[in-house]
Amino acid sequence: MGLDFTGIVVVAGNYGSGKTETAINLAVACRRTGMDVNIADLDLVNPYFRTREARIPLEALGIQVILPDTQYMFADLPILAPAVADIIRQPSDLTILDAGGDDVGVTVLGALASVLQDKPVRMLQVINAFRPFTGDVAGCIKIKQEIEASAKLTVTGLVSNANLMDETTGSHIHQGYELVKSVADHAQIPLEFITAVPGILTERDLAHFSCPVLPIDRKLLFPWKRTLKT
Amino acid sequence: MAKVLMKGNEAIGEAAIRAGCKNYFAYPITPQSEVAEYLVKRLPEEGGVFLQGESEVAVGYMIFGAAGAGERVMTTSSSPGISLMSEAISYIAAAQCPAVFVNIVRGGPGLGGILPSQGDYFQATKGGGHGDYHLLVLAPDGVQEAVEMTMQAFTLAEKYRGPVMIMGDGLIGQMMEPVEFPDDLKTEPTNKDDWATSGMDFRKSKKRNLVKSLFLDPTALNDNNLALKAKYEQMKKEEVQFELYNGDTDYQILITSYGTMSRVCRTAIDMLKEDGIEVAMLRPKTLFPFPEKAVFEAACKDSCKAVISIEMSMGQMVEDVERCVKGRRPVEFYGECGGDIPSPEKIIDIIKELL
């Protein structure tokens, strides 16, 4: 069971569901299989904890990172780098668009509608069962509908990113998996993969899941932890 | 209730609901807009109201109005917004109305930047608005403490009939941590009927209440200021909160630090311990009332050679630290306030220079 992503993949979801961590780690996992990967930060909504913070390690792996101009890096302005349209017109093996949170965060995709037209686009909705508003099926479906209406794109698959950060246990990952599986059944779209920090899941856990597991190496760390990591 | 993963801003919103706050007025500004985004969804579910003012000046007086009517009320903003509200805060303090203000501080002065800062320490503890008043100021160091302090803030605002401030910084508002909510705050019997303009019919009273900050008679104005001063003296006796970290060792250096900056200092202290260097940290949890006695006593420990205040500012709390240490130890300062947070390694280098 491997991850199978090519073309343009939009990563969406509600605020703080872990879109950026998921997008970054998906880019890394696909790059390691030899694919050409680029990733664009479309998060125009929230100026903290964005793809731009992980730029250096991603570029070191040969992943092209599209960000606003450096001079606007810390502006809370809705700036879309012109290069984003270019990478959509000529996608590499895998082009990941890391969108902002909620329906507001994907509004920007509407501005890209003309370049996205006629391109096969997949849009993933990332769900963390332990975040406000997405703890049950109804909440997740509501967010899905809002995102679709705003992005003018259909959510084609779901991702469970169940976590309580450092306090995450295997049980949390199971709970998230069960929830997102129910959402997937309800919406009749696939649960594409779940995420887990390595070491949390046992072999027995892994056998239980009907989808791949994306290993997460947290890139966006708190300043008091950043340098403790080796 | 099981743990959930929340941003500081969202958690402050939820904590206000659990404290029984049904009135939230605000104007958006980075890095705290998620409080409004959260409450616009949650408050209607609880029968509450979120109203966006046309500016922070308006919001300040909306808070005054609701507080004067005896309602539990909160606003949240960030530095420039708090500056605009400061006139109303002074009026609210003078008129003795309970209200909760949250400042998720960004870099200043002026428009500054949107990244975290602690540059509003003076504004929060020494004034902001005009006249002889103080805010009771609580400074959380993470999301869990932000929840607990937000709930406490409503109790304290009512106990002292005055404005209480939660002072976080951009990172406290933006970061996510697992959080658990305490039981909902009980509605205690209050003396609101004695002063709030909640309506004579509503109170079933023939007594007219008047909320005001204008005292043209010099004796009345002096009496009002004496009443405020008495409250601040009571706060100094009853409300001081602080944490002394690694204080039971023979530490050579005492750090004073609060909020996000104290998290970095904590890591630096743990790393220095591994090298056999003992350093302690006194973390004020209330910035006003300031832990005066605790700072003095911690600085005067025999093993302690020097005190250093480490802040995301150009040197503000350090003035209170110097005042409390009373010249008994040298008081140094290190600060950055562009938005980048100093790393634990940087703090270690600074400490080693002092040894």
Tell me, yes or no, whether B204 lies in a domain: no
Across the interface, whether the CB atoms of B266 and A224 are under 8 A apart is answered yes
Which of B67, B88, B83 is CA-nearest to residue B29? B83
Q: Which residues of B touch A228 (CB under 8 A)?
A: 267, 344
Q: What is the CA radius of gyration of chain A?
A: 17
**Residue of B156 and A102 predicted with greater confidence:** B156
pLDDT digits (tens, 9 = 90+) for B294-349: 999 999 999 999 999 999 999 999 999 999 999 999 999 999 999 999 999 999 99
Number of domains in chain B: 2
Sign of CA dihedral B150, B291, B308, B267: negative
pLDDT at A49: 67
Give the domain CATH number at B234.
3.40.50.970
Q: Are residues B59 and B97 part of one domain?
A: yes
pLDDT at B2: 86
Q: Are residues B298 and B195 part of one domain?
A: no
**Residues of B at the A interface (Cβ-Cβ below 8 Å)?**
3-7, 10, 14, 30-31, 34, 37-38, 41, 113-115, 170-171, 174-178, 260, 263-264, 266-267, 339, 341-345
Beta-bridge mates of residue B103? B77, B167
Tell me, yes or no, whether B303 lies in a domain: yes
Tell me, yes or no, whether B192 lies in a domain: yes
pLDDT at B185: 81
Across the interface, whether the CB atoms of B5 and A223 are under 8 A apart is answered no
Give the domain CATH number at B258.
3.40.50.920
A138 touching chain B per CB within 8 A:
no
**Candidates B31, B37, B175; nearest CB to A222:** B175
A118: left (phi over 0), alpha (psi -120 to 50) or beta: left
pLDDT at A46: 63
Using CA atoms, how far residue A69 sits from A52, B162, B266, in Å, is 11, 46, 35
CA B93 to chain centre: 15
Which of A104, A38, A15, A181 is CA-nearest to residue B175? A15
Interface of A with B in 44-73 (CB under 8 A): 46-49
Number of A to B CB contacts under 8 A, please give it.
Answer: 75
Phi and psi (nearest 5°) for A156?
-100, -15
B112: left (phi over 0), alpha (psi -120 to 50) or beta: left
Tell me, yes or no, whether B216 lies in a domain: no
**Candidates B31, B176, B264; nearest CB to A223:** B264
Tell me, yes or no, whether B80 lies in a domain: yes
pLDDT digits (tens, 9 = 90+) for A194-227: 999 999 998 888 889 999 999 998 877 788 885 4
**CA end-to-end span of chain A, whole Å?**
30
Across the interface, whether the CB atoms of B34 and A15 are under 8 A apart is answered yes
In whole angstroms, give the CA distance from residue B166 to residue B140.
8
Across the interface, whether the CB atoms of A47 and B30 are under 8 A apart is answered yes
Which amino acid, one-letter code, is at A88?
Answer: I
Phi and psi (nearest 5°) for B131?
95, 175
Q: Identify whether the C-beta of residue B122 lies closer than 8 Å to the C-beta of residue B290.
A: no
Q: Are residues B280 and B157 part of one domain?
A: no
Q: What is the mean pLDDT of chain A?
A: 88
B262 CA: distance to closest CA in chain A (Å): 9
Residue ranges making up the domain that contains B178: 4-199+221-238
Q: Are residues B255 and B108 part of one domain?
A: no
**Candidates A49, A128, A223; nearest CB to B341:** A223
Please tell me which residue of chain B has the smallest CA distance to A161.
B5
Q: Could you tell me which residues come within 8 angstroms of residue A145 by beta carbon, excluding any fewer than 6 positions away?
A: none
pLDDT digits (tens, 9 = 90+) for A11-66: 999 989 999 999 999 999 999 999 999 998 887 666 666 776 788 889 999 999 88
In whole angstroms, give the CA distance from residue B232 to residue B27.
29
Q: Are residues B263 and B231 part of one domain?
A: no
Q: Are residues B331 and B182 part of one domain?
A: no
Beta-bridge mates of residue B168? B104
Q: Are residues B49 and B33 part of one domain?
A: yes
Tell me, yes or no, whether B337 lies in a domain: yes
Tell me, yes or no, whether B207 lies in a domain: no
pLDDT at A229: 39
Tell me, yes or no, whether B20 lies in a domain: yes
Q: Are residues B280 and B155 part of one domain?
A: no
Q: Are residues B305 and B252 part of one domain?
A: yes
- The full 3-state SS of A77-98, as one line of letters, equals CCCCCCHHHHHHHCCCCEEEEE
Encoding tokens for residue B115?
A: 């990244």
Interface of A with B in 10-29 (CB under 8 A): 15-16
Beta-bridge mates of residue B50? B24
Which of B70, B76, B67, B69 is CA-nearest to residue B43? B76
Please tell me which residue of chain B has the smallest CA distance to A75.
B114
pLDDT at B188: 67
Across the interface, whether the CB atoms of B344 and A74 are under 8 A apart is answered no
Spans in chain B with pLDDT lower than 50: none
Q: Are residues B46 and B147 part of one domain?
A: yes
Choose one of B191, B213, B238: the last residue of a domain. B238
B84's enclosing H/E stretch is: helix B79-95
Q: Are residues B291 and B225 part of one domain?
A: no
Alpha helices in B186-279 (DSSP H): 192-195, 200-203, 218-238, 259-274
Confidence band for A71, pLDDT divided at 50, 70 and 90: confident
Domains with residue ranges and CATH for chain A = 11-220 (3.40.50.300)
Q: Which residues of A touch B6 (CB under 8 A)?
A: 16, 131-132
Tell me the residue length of chain A.
230
Q: Are residues B177 and B93 part of one domain?
A: yes
